[in-house]
Amino acid sequence: MATASRPTLAPAALRGGRPSSKVRRVLPALAVILGVPVLLWLLYKPSYVNFDARYSLLWARDIVHGHTPDYTAVFAPTPHPLQTLVSFPLLLAGDSSAKAMVAVTLLALGFLTWLVYRLGAELWHPAVGVIAAVVVVTRPSLARFALIGYQDIAFAALVVWALLLETRRPRRGAPVLLVLALAGLMRPDAWFLSALYVAYLWRGTDARGRGQLVALALIAPALWIAQDWIITGHPLHSLHGTKALAGEVNRRRPPLTIPKRTAWYYKLLLLWPLAAGVPVGLVFAWLYARRRFALLVAAAVALTLFIVITSIVGLSLIQRYLVTPGALLTVVYGLGVFGWLKLAPGQPRKVWTVVGVLALALSLAYIPAQASKLHAIKSTMTREARNYADLKLVGRSPAVRARFERCGTISTIGHKAMPDLRYWLNGPPHSIDLVEGTKTKVGPLMLEPRATRQMWTFDADEFAKVKPPPGYKRLYTNHSWAVWAAPGCTGGRLSAAPGGDVQADPG
């Protein structure tokens, strides 16, 4: 005799339609990773990228068009393989490729924020992770670096990810080295971390395993050297070029000033309340969480040491190089604030509670000054956005494009406009020259920044020292820029452009 079977309820129905635990774990991550970029985009409406990022887009476009990228051009930045690779799909956005680059960097900031939270939660307590994440997303310097497309944000996210993988499963090996290999295609700091990690795993690993670890650690430097060798014919081009560029842009520091300047950059990056909170966290870690925080502190020290050593031998020392160790120190700060939550009975919980509250109170008291710094970023970006928007108008001017196609090259007063100008003129490699410092040769066309209020970020006062050579005629002018043409590169008659600008009719 047949009997009616009881219907089987789906898991979602048994829970009243609520999402599964896995989905509930994913939703907060997505909320942070996507929410941080959306919030910053709405607040700041970014529209341009930094010098290095624009060059990476240029070099990707050069390769697509069959040109050899001008890695050796005057003032060309260090070519970072992963950033150039990421630039290829971003070219599909056309004129909005810069915004696409910023979107990727902002997503990296969201990813970094979530990873810092997870690292703090794994190492000690979710409250430690929350504080660290809040610090990351509210630092004015980190926000600015992300809003103009600096790859240092993505590099920091990869390094924190590698550390999180190791924290969850100690001596994990290959997965950690693979993530560091990706990071190593952005900055050589990761090569140093990979070498230290291989040394850490060396004992207890057989000969075959050691060979695999070494091979993984060599992936990034091998690919970077291969890139330089193929493009320039010099396998160490990036090393020599970076050192030369550091001198040209005044980024070399006297060795005796490097420790003090490094500490100052940390203060600018993390803001001064953390100067009190981070030492508190370090003391707490030493007393109660030494084994848990040993790798994190070691990584922060190793990265700082690498930057100091490379600065002593003549490479650059700038604030954004400290983004990654700075992100790690936010977790230490979180430990200083909320480490007391996991103290056992008999330990001085009340003392550390007071210390943590005081450390947090310093940050809360600094909020008005911090809000002012965030507002200043918006003002600066508004000015710079006008500069770059006007530079796009130069590159889109029929008069300038016609003369550029006829005469072949254009010189810029100052190096900051070089990649954007070549991008918008759709110029081939080496078609933009420079007039700056001892380089005084002017080509048939010359771009001159105008002394407007918002041009201070381009050092307009310095540019005023360079004047167009005798006989050059003004070909095009807008609010921020003017283009001058040599006698043999004018042609046609001058007329007024819309809005009062002056440009030459194409001839």
Q: Is residue 373 part of a domain?
A: no
Q: Which of 313, 339, 365 is the last residue of a domain?
A: 365
Q: pLDDT band at 252, cuts 50/70/90?
A: confident
User: Do residues 403 and 273 share a domain?
Assistant: no
Q: Is residue 1 part of a domain?
A: no
Statement: residue 16 has pLDDT above 80: no
User: Do residues 42 and 109 share a domain?
Assistant: yes
Q: Is residue 68 part of a domain?
A: yes
What are the tens digits of pLDDT across the range 27-45?
999 999 999 999 999 999 9
Can you give the residue range of the structural domain that contains 399? Answer: 381-504
**Phi and psi at residue 233, in whole multiples of 5°?**
85, 0
Number of domains in the chain: 2
User: Do residues 205 and 280 share a domain?
Assistant: yes
Residue listed under structure tokens 């799909």? 89
Q: Is residue 311 part of a domain?
A: yes
**Is the Cβ–Cβ distance between 81 and 52 less than 8 Å?**
no
User: Do residues 302 and 414 share a domain?
Assistant: no
User: Do residues 232 and 287 share a domain?
Assistant: yes
Q: Is residue 120 part of a domain?
A: yes
User: Do residues 207 and 121 share a domain?
Assistant: yes
User: Do residues 232 and 313 share a domain?
Assistant: yes
**Is the Cβ–Cβ distance between 354 and 296 less than 8 Å?**
no
Using CA atoms, how far apart are residues 181 and 246, in angstroms rounded to an integer? Answer: 25
Using CA atoms, how far apart are residues 107 and 113, in angstroms rounded to an integer? Answer: 10
- Token pair for 271: 């803001």
Q: Which of 94-98, 290-294, 327-331, 487-491 has the lowest mean pLDDT?
A: 487-491
What are the tens digits of pLDDT across the range 122-139?
999 999 999 999 999 999
Q: Which residues contact 307 (CB under 8 A, 6 or more apart)?
A: 189, 262, 317, 321, 322
Average pLDDT for 205-213:
95
Q: Is residue 49 part of a domain?
A: yes
**Is the Cβ–Cβ distance between 107 and 235 less than 8 Å?**
no
What are the tens digits of pLDDT across the range 257-297?
899 999 999 999 999 899 889 999 999 999 999 999 999 99
Average pLDDT for 211-229:
97
Structure pTM?
Answer: 0.91
DSSP 431: -
- Quote the pLDDT of residue 18: 58
User: Do residues 355 and 496 share a domain?
Assistant: no
Average pLDDT for 329-337:
98
Q: Is residue 12 part of a domain?
A: no
- Token pair for 31: 């909320």
Sequence-distant contacts of 13-19: CB under 8 A, at least 24 apart: none
Considering only residues 255 and 230, tell me which one the structure prediction assigns the higher pLDDT: 230
Q: Is residue 29 part of a domain?
A: yes
User: Do residues 30 and 110 share a domain?
Assistant: yes
Using CA atoms, how far apart are residues 196 and 461, in angstroms rounded to an integer? Answer: 46
Please state, as a whole number, how many other Cβ atoms lie within 10 Å of the Cβ of residue 146. Answer: 28
Across the beta sheet with 494-496, the strand order is 432-435, 410-413, 445-449, 481-485, 473-477, 502-504, 494-496
Statement: residue 6 has pLDDT above 60: no
Q: Which of 59-63, 67-71, 458-462 has the lowest mean pLDDT?
A: 458-462
What are the tens digits of pLDDT across the range 375-408?
999 988 998 999 999 999 999 999 999 999 999 9
User: Do residues 199 and 314 share a domain?
Assistant: yes
Q: Are strands 481-485 and 445-449 parallel, antiparallel or unpaired?
A: antiparallel
Q: Which of 46-50, 69-73, 450-454 has the lowest mean pLDDT?
A: 450-454
Q: Are strands 410-413 and 445-449 parallel, antiparallel or unpaired?
A: parallel
User: Do residues 157 and 288 share a domain?
Assistant: yes
| Averaged confidence pLDDT in the chain | 89
Q: Taking the CA atoms of the chain, what radius of gyration do you get in angstroms? A: 26
User: Do residues 246 and 327 share a domain?
Assistant: yes
